Amino acid sequence: MEIIMVHGIWDKGTVYRRMADFLGEQGHNCHYPDLEPANGAHGLADLAEKLKVYIDQTIGSDVPFALIGFSMGTVISRYYLQVLGGASRVSHFFSISGPLHGTLTAHFWPGKASRDMRFRSKLLQQLNADTSALEHTTIHSYRTPFDLLIIPTRSSHWNIAADNHIVPALFHHRMLIHCKVSQHIAETLKSSD
């Protein structure tokens, strides 16, 4: 299966290298773009538009795929799914340590991306007000109780998810290399074949 992996703020797609290698061994084709600017200076909708262009150019405009978002990448992914029509192509969305309801730390960062990730931001209110576009996409959410970037960590919990996993990763970025996350993604995709 084709898998698109969306990184977080200040990151590059290579943060997924280890997970991509593991999923590649399971027979999947993983793609992890560098979305620029990585600090989201023009907002998350801008990065979602760039994500759509990347997906259409890389795997085509009608090929189904699974989507993985990490941190800020979960919100970028949601905009792609819910506003830009991507949900019609995505069988599974894996949301890893995302500020689905905002994060306290975003109130201390400057910039448009940070404003988009604050509690009750216009963008999050828009996404949370209507999730009907996601009805045919299976959602899986992961969070760690030790996250110091997503505060409160429960902001990564999603009521409409098929499952919400608590993973004992010691830091925010350790979620991407924790075996429980990668293994669950692989098992989920295998069972859906």
> What string of pLDDT tens digits covers the 193 residues of the chain?
999 999 999 999 999 999 999 999 999 999 999 999 999 999 999 999 999 999 999 999 999 999 999 999 999 999 999 999 999 999 999 999 999 999 999 999 889 999 999 999 999 999 999 999 999 999 999 999 999 999 999 999 999 999 999 999 999 999 999 999 999 999 999 988 7
Residue 192 confidence (pLDDT) = 82
Measured from the Cβ of residue 21, the count of other Cβ atoms closer than 10 Å reads 11
Cα separation, 23 vs 40, in Å, equals 27
Sorted by where each starts, the structural domains of the chain and their CATH numbers stand as 2-191 (3.40.50.1820)
d(CA 15, CA 174): 10
Q: Token digits for 88?
A: 């019609």
Residue 84 CB: number of other CB atoms within 10 A?
Answer: 15
Asked if 175 and 70 count as a contact pair (C-beta separation under 8 A), the reply is: yes
Contact between 80 and 48 under an 8 Å Cβ cutoff? The reply is yes
- Token pair of 165, please? 């996993």
